[in-house]
């Protein structure tokens, strides 16, 4: 009996498995009612009286050892399965670093979030447009310089198909298909035939806003833009509106903010004026409303538009526009910590 117990103990210590079915088979072999350990217990009654104490102790140790070994094998097998399931065989041997949003996306999303708080919703439109939505509906006369080949990318020989030069084309689509009240924000990429330099590019990004309803005034426009400036650049930010001209708004204005570097005291960034231009705006021209099927005697509205690159320059002091499109990781990684 003692020799059988020792031999069985040695066999149990040497056990190993490769799958869960083998673990269950070993449990049945050794610990079931008809298993080898149980058979030894059945033969215990034939042991001589003077050896029962010693043999009984060995049998109990054998049973406990068999149970512990089966549990160890089961636990080890489950852990190995967990590691195998978590192992990504497609992963590169080098550490995969987390990326970050592009600075233009960061600023665009912030602009959208600010205006969403005062009721503006997103509107989008195609980048390949026709002359009506880009120019004619917006009160651009046929001789306007913006129609010149020097400024606009035309897709075909047909001058009616072109890349949009501003996201105002989205506004005209909204006005044509939706009845007032209208309160939309139009972010998107636009294209102009310009020489690429540190301050200009042939494509860039805009966010334009449009609000049309009854009794909309210039005071409403000013208050919305003041709210935006303070939310984007800080509570101490001040704004000023200077008269300007745009074919689709009347009256029109350009908006400056107090320089966020010097606090309006004057510095090289603001050319010692204390002010920095950030956007154009104005009341929607009645001709534009009529062109889009809106009664200008009942409704009025305001519109504004800003370049995302311009706002990003002011927020992060990026002085070269080309950096936004070069995908230089040294530049892009600088925006990981804060965003």
Q: Which residue has the higher pLDDT, 299 or 97?
A: 299
What does each C-alpha distance from 161 to 130, 312, 323 come to in angstroms? Answer: 5, 31, 30
What does each C-alpha distance from 252 to 41, 69, 225, 236 come to in angstroms? Answer: 101, 85, 14, 25
| Of the listed ranges 82-86, 186-190, 200-204, the one predicted with least confidence | 82-86
Domain-located, residue 217 = yes
- What pLDDT is stored for residue 271 in this prediction? 82
Structure tokens belonging to residue 205: 């990004």
pLDDT confidence of 122, banded at 50, 70, 90?
very high
- Domain containing 247: what range? 103-335
pLDDT confidence of 8, banded at 50, 70, 90?
confident
**Average pLDDT, integer, range 309-321:** 85
Task: Say if residue 42 is in the same domain as residue 129.
Answer: no
- What pLDDT is stored for residue 71 in this prediction? 79
Task: Say if residue 33 is in the same domain as residue 151.
Answer: no
**Average pLDDT, integer, range 111-119:** 96
Domain-located, residue 189 = yes
pLDDT at 306 over 90: yes
Task: Say if residue 188 is in the same domain as residue 307.
Answer: yes
Count structural domains, the chain.
Answer: 2
pLDDT confidence of 238, banded at 50, 70, 90?
very high
pLDDT confidence of 198, banded at 50, 70, 90?
confident
Domain-located, residue 49 = yes
The DSSP letter of residue 197 is B
**Average pLDDT, integer, range 173-191:** 95
Task: Say if residue 125 is in the same domain as residue 240.
Answer: yes
Angle at 106 between CA 102 and CA 109, to 5 degrees: 130
- Please report where in the chains the tokens 């080898």 appear, as a residue: 36
Task: Say if residue 171 is in the same domain as residue 108.
Answer: yes
- pLDDT single digits (tens) 279-294: 999 999 999 999 999 9
Structure tokens belonging to residue 228: 């935006």
Q: What is the CATH number of the domain that holds 202?
A: 3.30.930.10
Domain boundary among 86, 116, 140: 86
Task: Say if residue 134 is in the same domain as residue 24.
Answer: no
**Average pLDDT, integer, range 209-234:** 95
Domain-located, residue 96 = no
**Average pLDDT, integer, range 96-121:** 90
Domain-located, residue 93 = no
- pLDDT single digits (tens) 17-32: 767 777 777 777 777 7
- Please report where in the chains the tokens 């852990």 appear, as a residue: 79
- pLDDT single digits (tens) 39-86: 776 766 676 777 777 767 777 777 778 788 777 777 776 666 655 556
Domain-located, residue 98 = no
Q: Is 77 exposed, middle or buried (0-12, 13-18, 19+ CB in 10 A)?
A: middle
Structure tokens belonging to residue 44: 């215990």
Task: Say if residue 285 is in the same domain as residue 136.
Answer: yes
Task: Say if residue 133 is in the same domain as residue 245.
Answer: yes
Domain-located, residue 251 = yes
| Of the listed ranges 28-37, 124-133, 222-231, the one predicted with least confidence | 28-37
Domain boundary among 29, 57, 86: 86
Q: What pTM, to 2 d.p., does this model score? A: 0.68
**What is d(CA 261, CA 272) in angstroms, rounded to the nearest whole number?**
11
- What pLDDT is stored for residue 96 in this prediction? 67
Task: Say if residue 107 is in the same domain as residue 82.
Answer: no
- What pLDDT is stored for residue 123 in this prediction? 95
Is residue 211 within 8 Å of 294, Cβ to Cβ? no
Task: Say if residue 161 is in the same domain as residue 233.
Answer: yes
Task: Say if residue 48 is in the same domain as residue 165.
Answer: no
Domain boundary among 35, 52, 86: 86
Q: Which residue has the higher pLDDT, 219 or 12?
A: 219
pLDDT at 171 over 60: yes
pLDDT at 147 over 90: no
**What is d(CA 194, CA 191) in angstroms, rounded to the nearest whole number?**
9
Task: Say if residue 81 is in the same domain as residue 120.
Answer: no
Domain-located, residue 167 = yes
Q: What is the mean pLDDT of the chain?
A: 84
């Amino acid at each position: 009996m003692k020799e059988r117990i020792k031999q069985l103990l040695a066999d149990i210590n040497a056990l190993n498995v490769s799958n869960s079915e083998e673990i269950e088979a070993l449990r049945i072999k050794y610990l079931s009612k008809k298993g080898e350990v149980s058979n030894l217990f059945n033969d215990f009654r034939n042991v001589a009286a003077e050896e029962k104490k010693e043999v009984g102790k060995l049998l109990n140790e054998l049973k406990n050892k068999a149970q512990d070994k089966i549990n160890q094998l089961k636990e080890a097998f489950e852990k190995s399965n967990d590691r195998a399931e978590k192992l990504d065989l497609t992963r590169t041997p080098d550490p995969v670093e987390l990326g970050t949003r592009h600075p233009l996306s960061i600023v665009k999303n912030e602009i959208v979030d600010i205006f969403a708080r005062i009721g503006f919703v997103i509107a989008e439109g195609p980048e390949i447009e026709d002359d009506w939505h880009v120019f004619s509906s917006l009160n651009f006369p046929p001789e306007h310089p913006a129609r010149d080949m020097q400024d606009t990318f035309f897709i075909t020989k047909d001058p009616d198909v072109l890349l949009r030069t501003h996201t105002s084309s989205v506004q005209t689509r909204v006005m044509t298909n939706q009845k007032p009240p209208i309160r939309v924000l139009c972010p998107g990429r636009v294209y102009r035939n310009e020489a690429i330099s540190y301050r200009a590019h042939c494509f860039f990004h805009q966010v334009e806003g449009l609000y049309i309803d009854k009794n909309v005034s210039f005071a409403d426009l000013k208050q919305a833009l003041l709210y935006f400036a303070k939310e984007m650049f800080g509570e101490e930010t001040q704004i000023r509106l200077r008269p300007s001209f745009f074919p689709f708004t009347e009256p029109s204005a350009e908006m400056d903010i107090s320089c966020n570097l010097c606090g309006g005291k004057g510095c090289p960034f603001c050319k010692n004026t204390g002010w920095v231009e950030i956007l154009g705006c104005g009341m929607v021209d009645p001709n534009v409303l009529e062109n889009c099927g809106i009664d200008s005697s009942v409704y009025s509205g305001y519109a504004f538009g800003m370049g995302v690159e311009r706002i990003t320059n002011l927020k992060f002091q990026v002085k070269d526009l080309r950096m936004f499109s070069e995908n230089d990781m040294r530049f892009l990684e600088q925006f990981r910590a804060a965003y």
